């Protein structure tokens, strides 16, 4: 694929807007929200992360990644017009058919917003199928927030409630959001009602754990909470054994899991 444009989200996070080089492949390509892919920088290897764009917008693919190692360092160095390797899609999906008619709360932290972004835009592009839409998003600091342009767009929409927060000490003088950790702000400041509502959560494992606990105190049941564990994946093909939780391989069996499925996994998660 060709990198059509590059957005510098933070000092170490970029978004690539990718277009197919083969027209026939572009016409036939399909994916669903929640799935992931393998992205390669030639000569350096492949890296696994989600497709961050919505399947309602099929002319392109977007991905967002942090520079954390050999492959992502090489990807980070690519520019507009460069070619990037792409294999996919892989993995299971967010079951949008089970979300229909329900209120949806998206809860994410830091670089975990890209997997949620695919679902958010999928839902907003088919808005009449769903109830109230809320987004609770936080990061360590204002500088660490990704998709700042889209946070502004969601904030300005009448049919979306956006709650944004940064960790204590991460605010700036003109910060207009909350200050506090995502689970705390969710429970004490936003306090959503569980009636006819699904919570879609993504973040580091410790954030998912505390967010699920906060949601349970608010009255949510495990069949109302769903997440993606994509940040555990390495090879993405079930070969390296680094994403498994007990006998469950995130890349093969997931990456999307309901809270009740995670509750059955070993406590290492």
pLDDT at 253: 83
Look at residue 62 and give its three-state secondary structure.
Answer: strand
How confident is the model at residue 269, as a pLDDT?
A: 56
CB 170 within 8 A of CB 141: yes
Q: Which contiguous run of DSSP H or E holds residue 96?
A: helix 96-99
pTM: 0.93
Which helix (H) or strand (E) segment holds residue 122: the answer is helix 113-125
Q: Are 16 and 2 in contact (CB under 8 A)?
A: no
pLDDT tens per residue, range 45-56: 999 999 999 999
CA pair distance 246, 257, nearest whole angstrom: 15
Determine the pLDDT at residue 104.
98
pLDDT tens per residue, range 154-211: 999 999 999 999 999 999 999 999 999 999 999 999 999 999 999 999 998 899 999 9
Stretches where the chain sits below pLDDT 70 are 268-269
Q: Judging by DSSP bridges, how do beta strands 244-245 and 178-179 pair with one another?
A: unpaired
pLDDT at 232 (0 to 100): 75
Q: What percent of the chain has a predicted confidence (pLDDT) above 90?
A: 83
Q: How many CA atoms lie within 13 A of 142 on its CB side?
A: 10
Query: How much of the chain is in helix, strand and coil states, percent to nearest 5?
Result: 30, 30, 40
């Amino acid at each position: 694929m060709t990198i059509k444009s590059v957005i510098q989200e933070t000092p170490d996070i970029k978004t690539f807007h990718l277009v197919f080089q083969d027209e026939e492949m572009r016409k036939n390509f399909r994916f669903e929200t929640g799935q992931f892919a393998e992205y390669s920088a030639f000569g350096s290897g492949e890296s696994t992360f989600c497709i961050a764009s919505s399947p309602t917008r099929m002319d392109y693919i977007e991905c967002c990644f942090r520079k954390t190692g050999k492959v992502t360092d090489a990807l980070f160095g690519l520019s507009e017009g460069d070619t990037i390797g792409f294999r996919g899609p892989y993995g299971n999906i967010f079951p949008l058919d089970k979300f229909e008619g329900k209120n949806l709360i998206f809860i994410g932290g830091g670089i975990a917003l890209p997997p949620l972004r695919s679902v958010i835009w999928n839902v907003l592009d088919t808005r009449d199928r769903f109830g109230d839409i809320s987004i609770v998003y936080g990061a360590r600091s204002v500088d660490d927030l990704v998709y700042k342009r889209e946070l502004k767009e969601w904030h300005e929409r009448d049919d979306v409630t956006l709650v944004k927060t940064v960790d204590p000490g991460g605010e700036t003088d003109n910060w207009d959001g909350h200050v506090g950790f995502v689970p705390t702000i969710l429970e004490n400041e936003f306090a959503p009602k569980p009636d006819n509502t699904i919570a879609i959560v993504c973040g580091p494992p410790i954030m998912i754990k505390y967010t699920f606990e906060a949601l349970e105190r608010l009255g949510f049941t495990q069949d109302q909470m769903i997440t993606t564990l994509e940040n555990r994946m390495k090879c993405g093909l079930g070969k390296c054994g680094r994403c498994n939780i007990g006998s469950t391989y995130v890349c093969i069996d997931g990456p999307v899991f309901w809270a009740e499925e995670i509750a059955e996994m070993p406590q290492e998660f």
